[in-house]
Amino acid sequence: MERMAHIAQVIAPEALLETAVRVYDEGRHPLTAMFGRDETAQGTGYAIYCYFEIPEKKDMQVVKAVFDPNGSLSYQSITHAIPAAAWYEREIHDMFGLVPEGHPDLRPLVLHESFPEGFYPLRKSVKVNAKVRGERKFKVRSAKGQGLFEVPVGPIHAGIIEPGHFRFSQAGEAMLQLDAKLFFTHRGIEKAVEGKMPEEALHIVERICGACSVSNTWSFCQAVEKVAGVSVPRRAEIIRTLLSELERIVNHVGDLGNMPAGVGFNPAISLGARLKERLMRLCEAVAGNRFLRGVIVPGGVRQDITPELIEEIHSVIDATAEGVEDLATMFREQENFQNRVQTTGIIRHQTAVDLAMVGVGARASGYAHDSRSDFAFGVYPELDFQPYTKTMGDVAARLLVRIGELSASFEMVDKLLDMLRNCHGMPLHADMAYGAGEAWGICESPRGSNFHYVALDEEGRIDRLFVRSASYPNWPALTIAVQGDIIPDFPLINKSFELCYACIDR
């Protein structure tokens, strides 16, 4: 791998809005990530990085605004021009205290009521284990009017799901407005890894999220490998790509079994759960862990796929493909199921563009973004991959996109297994030697693109890690998708996006 230059266009905070709007080019170059960094030790001050995807170059363009720590920490919010920036700006405000003037909703995002005002944990002056207590206000939004009422749900839910608080404003059965208070599982992971070598941080990165273990690890490793200028041996790249597809298959099959739970369609739930369990056991056989943890490491992989495992993967995937076909038939032929999923929870194409949505959520609304084709990583360029899209943007479309992607993944797994058969005994790992530098990594998790930014210091210790998982840009879309639908459809719409909480909360 070439040592990729990481060139940011450095500007003053006053120029951020204008520059960002110019690069954004009316949505042609979506805002992939936006985050802060404390560079006072390097003499730069506080910085805001904006990553825009440039699809025609299969690359990113970086705009970096630098703040003098002794000067004004305010800048003009870019959210009005680039709606996707709304959450990023709130997060930067929480973590660094940089104030976006004119932001439409500058409530806290990450830090809830038990943290005092003016506590900015990602500033270097704050210790990692600072146990600061205080109080801050968080007002949940609701619609007011005659006959309207509120339904508060969570953070502890009735089912086995992750914590989040939802406030529905109802006009009878219809959901007028939904406000979601998230980030309950915020563990301070980005701060926890600071000062650690990439290998020391690996077990933490692997545990950002269970469903996206492979994706988070792979993006992180890509970034540190770019900084080190190390290229990963071919067999390791194939194994990584295979693991990533296995993770997608497990999650998509799990979702196919979970979505019918939103309407009480039990035979499909049961069949989906059965298929998923078989796959989880396959993952354990491959990695020694049911979430494929412990294989991907900086420089390559730690375990090989033996000839016996190749055959086992092959036979389980074949059986899964048959089961998925059966599930798809069940869905197609069950009219009352179709009645529930069609025209429910619609995301229009323009909404997907405005929010820079990713993954299944974007592709079901005709927004053909998939990092497997948008960027070159792993062995995807050899697999002739095309994104699978639908245009309706409803629950049914998201279901069909998953089914379509599964067939593509089954085919890719077959090709990958063939590649592995042809390169037995090849090296799995390259030696890593770190130095100062910064880089990004991206891969396609089951939920969509997963972006990591890593900056290392001279000793190779992590100075800044930023994680933008696929669920981050898609969460705000959920609150739009539900508007006008009836509240009994919420679980179904929610499951059709199947967003992680752990990934975004970090």
Partner 1 sequence: MFKVLERIFRDKIATEQVSLSGSQRFRGKLSGSVEESLLPKCQGACPVGAFQAEGSQYKIDYRKCIFCGKCVEACAVAALEEGREKDGLLHHSTEDAMPYLIEAGQEALADVLKEKLGRSLHVRHLDAGSCNACDFEMGALGNPYYDLHRYGVAFVASPRHADMLMVTGVVTRNLEQALKMSYEAMPEPRLVMACGACAAGGETYGDTYAIVGAADKVVPVDVYVPGCPPRPSAMIVGLLAVADMLKEKMK
Question: Residue numbers of the site for partner 1 (CB under 8 A)?
Answer: 111-112, 114-115, 121, 126-132, 155-156, 158-163, 183-189, 191-192, 200, 203-204, 207-211, 213, 254, 267, 270-271, 273-274, 276-277, 280-281, 284-291, 293-294, 303, 326, 329-330, 333-334, 500-502
The residue assigned the tokens 């989040």 is 164
The residue assigned the tokens 């089912």 is 159
Three-state DSSP at 153 gives strand
- State the nearest-atom distance from the C-beta of 333 to partner 1, in Å: 6
Between CA 276 and CA 283, with CA 282 as vertex, the angle to 5 degrees is 90
Q: Which is nearer to partner 1, 86 or 211 (CB)?
A: 211
Q: Which is nearer to partner 1, 18 or 322 (CB)?
A: 322
- State the nearest-atom distance from the C-beta of 503 to partner 1, in Å: 8
Contact 221, 296 (CB under 8 A): yes
Q: Which is nearer to partner 1, 55 or 155 (CB)?
A: 155
Q: Which is nearer to partner 1, 20 or 263 (CB)?
A: 263
Q: Which is nearer to partner 1, 82 or 205 (CB)?
A: 205
Contact 349, 438 (CB under 8 A): no
Peptide bond into 155 cis (omega under 30): yes
Contact 473, 493 (CB under 8 A): no
- State the nearest-atom distance from the C-beta of 205 to partner 1, in Å: 10
Q: Which is nearer to partner 1, 304 or 414 (CB)?
A: 304
- State the nearest-atom distance from the C-beta of 142 to partner 1, in Å: 20
58/49 Cα distance (integer angstroms): 19
Q: Which is nearer to partner 1, 201 or 412 (CB)?
A: 201
Cα atoms in the 13 Å half-sphere on the side-chain side of 12: 4
327/18 Cα distance (integer angstroms): 50
Q: Which is nearer to partner 1, 106 or 273 (CB)?
A: 273
- State the nearest-atom distance from the C-beta of 501 to partner 1, in Å: 7
Nearest to 292 by CA among 259, 252, 251: 251
- State the nearest-atom distance from the C-beta of 186 to partner 1, in Å: 5
Q: Which is nearer to partner 1, 286 or 439 (CB)?
A: 286
Q: Which is nearer to partner 1, 42 or 329 (CB)?
A: 329
Between CA 294 and CA 120, with CA 474 as vertex, the angle to 5 degrees is 75
- State the nearest-atom distance from the C-beta of 52 to partner 1, in Å: 30
338/340 Cα distance (integer angstroms): 5
Q: Which is nearer to partner 1, 58 or 138 (CB)?
A: 138
- State the nearest-atom distance from the C-beta of 99 to partner 1, in Å: 21
- State the nearest-atom distance from the C-beta of 208 to partner 1, in Å: 6
- State the nearest-atom distance from the C-beta of 66 to partner 1, in Å: 25
For strands 74-76 and 99-101, give the pairing: parallel
**Any idea how long the chain is?**
506
- Report phi then psi at 375, rounded to 5: -130, 160
- How distant, in Å, are the alpha carbons of 149, 225, 380, 454 from that of 440? 45, 10, 18, 6
3-class SS string, 244-270: HHHHHHHHHHHHHHHHHHHCCCHHHHH
- Report phi then psi at 120, rounded to 5: -115, 90
**Strand segments (E) across 246-357:** 296-297, 300-301
Output the furthest CA–CA distance in the chain (Å, rounded).
72
- State the nearest-atom distance from the C-beta of 187 to partner 1, in Å: 5
How many Cβ atoms are within 10 Å of 233's Cβ, its own excluded? 18
- State the nearest-atom distance from the C-beta of 63 to partner 1, in Å: 29
- Region of 464 on the Ramachandran plot (φ > 0 left; ψ -120 to 50 alpha; else beta): beta
316/366 Cα distance (integer angstroms): 32
Q: Which is nearer to partner 1, 53 or 255 (CB)?
A: 255
Q: Which is nearer to partner 1, 49 or 115 (CB)?
A: 115
Secondary structure letter of residue 154 according to DSSP: -
Secondary structure letter of residue 305 according to DSSP: -
For strands 448-456 and 437-445, give the pairing: antiparallel
Amino acid at 1: M
SS3 content of the chain, % helix, strand, coil (to 5): 45, 20, 40
- State the nearest-atom distance from the C-beta of 73 to partner 1, in Å: 20
